[in-house]
Amino acid sequence: MRKILIPTDFSENAMNAIRYAVELFKYERSDFLIMHAYADEVYDHDTTVSRQALEELKVATLKNSDKELSKILDDIQQISPNPRHTYETLSVFGTLVDEANELVDRENIDIVVMGTQGKSNDRALTFGSNTLQVIKYVKCPVLAIPSESSYTQPKNLLLPTDFLLPYKKRELKLLSTLAKSFRSKINFLFVSKYQNLSLRQEDHKQFLEDCLPDLELEFHSVASDDLTMAINKFMIDNPTDLLVMFNSRRSYLEHILYQSTIDKIGLQIKIPFLIMQNLQRY
């Protein structure tokens, strides 16, 4: 049984992510938990000048959140009435990251799915602030869906790797299940000035192959020291439906997320982006 958490701010981008998720997991028995965290709405509201006003606003915001979540359930039943799927909604007075982390741990969530932008919908940015916060701090795989992405079967997956990470079987199982459902090809992109693999890299590559049996795997090697340019070029030159990367200590993705921003680095992500959190859950 797949457990999927979908945060929503009731924007069209968030609804697009929900539509994508129910299609992506349509072949699996899945529990969907659709959550709205509304603490920021209350604290940032102009009328919160007294404790009484704060409490009244909390009640009103909760009522509106429950109403909007109920509408989402009705929409899902119209979009994809799937007997393999069950749905639960949750309005929580808390911050998105804190509530998502708590639910991930308590419910043993397999994946978080969300849009790349929220209500602000700043198309100059690859990811909105909420999405970046979830990717950085929620210890769970995150599937980020760009606002312009309509659902297509993920037949071609791209996974850039230096073969240095100690991959985890749980996350590779998620990747394997997705690829098997759609008979997808996984393209591994190794970008380095040095073409020869070390013994550690060879072992990690073999571990990947062992954990992804009966799948079409293709290994590509590019002699370059610019991983960003190599990824962008591969996505231009080859059909790619889903980009997959691992967030780990001292990884390329961690460098982007913590040292700068994806937008400044120039990683051009216009397709769904699966971030595997190769980090221990606490």
120 phi and psi angles, rounded to 5 deg: -65, -35
Per-position DSSP letters for 71-125, written without gaps between them: HHHHHHHHH---TTEEEEEEEESS-HHHHHHHHHHHHT-SEEEEES--TT--TTS
Q: In this predicted structure, which of 51-60, 64-73, 101-110, 154-163 has the lowest mean pLDDT?
A: 51-60
What is the pLDDT averaged over residues 143-148? Answer: 89
The answer to whether residue 169 scores a pLDDT higher than 90 is: no
Tally of CB atoms within 10 A around 12: 12
Average pLDDT taken over every residue of the chain: 86
pLDDT tens sequence across 247-268: 765 555 555 555 444 454 456 6
| Cα 124 to Cα 127, 134, 186, distances in angstroms | 9, 19, 29
Kindly give the residue spans of alpha helices, DSSP state H, lying in 183-241.
Answer: 199-211, 227-237
Question: From start to end of 177-272, where are the E strands?
Answer: 185-192, 216-223, 242-247
Q: What percentage of the chain exceeds 90 in pLDDT? A: 59
Write the CB contacts of 153 (distance below 8 Å, at least 6 apart in sequence). 182, 241
Q: What pLDDT was estimated at residue 72?
A: 97
Q: What angle do CA 112, 255, 105 make, to 5 degrees?
A: 30
The answer to whether residue 246 scores a pLDDT higher than 80 is: yes
Tally of CB atoms within 10 A around 148: 11
| Residue 96 pLDDT class (50, 70, 90 cuts) | very high
pTM metric for this prediction: 0.88
pLDDT tens sequence across 119-135: 555 444 455 678 888 98
Going along the chain from its start, the domains and CATH numbers come out as: 2-145 (3.40.50.620), 156-271 (3.40.50.620)
Q: What pLDDT was estimated at residue 124?
A: 45
Alpha-carbon gap, residue 175 to 180, rounded angstroms: 9
Q: What pLDDT was estimated at residue 249?
A: 56
168 phi and psi angles, rounded to 5 deg: -105, 140
| Residue 194 pLDDT class (50, 70, 90 cuts) | confident
Q: Residue 169 corresponds to which tokens in the numbers above?
A: 């079987």
Strands 111-115 and 85-92: unpaired
Q: What pLDDT was estimated at residue 282?
A: 43
Q: What pLDDT was estimated at residue 260?
A: 46
The answer to whether residue 106 scores a pLDDT higher than 90 is: yes
What is the pLDDT averaged over residues 20-31? Answer: 95
What is the pLDDT averaged over residues 225-231? Answer: 84
Q: What pLDDT was estimated at residue 274?
A: 94
